[in-house]
């Protein structure tokens, strides 16, 4: 009888997996208005999107700081957490990277990171994987219409990602 009880417990753990222990992060708390103001000193920064729940089945929460209504200056931070998704963020990261046309590795941040270009296209911005925290970050910056300076985008996105990671690692 004891064997059957153990067998039932084993199979039920496969059907009903244990609650994930990674933490849930609010993207609007990972960066401050002052962090954004550093790159847009003349702008009035305001948050126009703040996801309090995941915006999609991949467990993504977004925060969007507008820095210029007319000229597409903004910062968006999206974070996905193993705690809120069915597909591990490491698997999402690998999958997303595989389907990108132009992936530029970015060294010195997270466990792995890449840049997917500027603009509003799918996969744009800096993508950073933090395996130990069970999170994936995506930082996208708009520097204004017509500004396609890829190196400037990477520089700013990397700087903001480092600030967000510092906040995550403090918690």
Q: What is the pLDDT of residues 113-125, one digit of tens each?
A: 999 988 778 889 9
In 3D space, the residue among 123, 162, 156 whose CA is nearest the CA of residue 141 turns out to be 156
**Are the C-beta atoms of 27 and 62 separated by less than 8 Å?**
yes
The whole-model pTM stands at 0.84
In this structure, the strands spanning 135-143 and 126-130 are antiparallel
Q: What is the pLDDT of residues 77-96, one digit of tens each?
A: 999 999 998 889 999 999 99
- The confidence score (pLDDT) of residue 7 equals 30
In this structure, the strands spanning 46-50 and 60-68 are antiparallel
| C-alpha span between 95 and 58 (Å, rounded) | 12
| C-alpha span between 137 and 49 (Å, rounded) | 16
88's CB contacts (< 8 A; 6+ apart) are 82, 134
- Higher-confidence residue of 138 and 149: namely 138
């Amino acid at each position: 009888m004891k064997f059957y009880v153990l067998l039932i417990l084993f199979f039920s753990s496969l059907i009903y997996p244990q609650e994930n222990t990674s933490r849930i992060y609010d993207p609007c708390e990972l960066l401050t208005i002052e962090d954004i103001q550093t790159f847009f000193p003349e702008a009035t920064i305001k948050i126009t999107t703040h996801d309090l729940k995941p915006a999609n089945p991949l467990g993504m929460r977004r925060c969007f700081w507008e820095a210029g209504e007319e000229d597409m200056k903004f910062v968006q931070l999206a974070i996905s957490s193993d705690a809120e998704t069915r597909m591990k963020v490491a698997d999402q990261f690998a999958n997303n990277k595989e389907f990108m046309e132009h992936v530029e590795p970015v060294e010195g941040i997270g466990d792995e990171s890449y840049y997917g270009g500027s603009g509003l296209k799918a996969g744009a911005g800096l993508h950073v994987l933090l395996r130990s925290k069970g999170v994936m970050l995506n930082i996208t910056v708009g520097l204004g219409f017509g500004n396609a300076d890829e190196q400037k985008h990477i520089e700013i996105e990397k700087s903001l990602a480092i600030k967000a990671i510092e906040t995550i690692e403090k918690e």
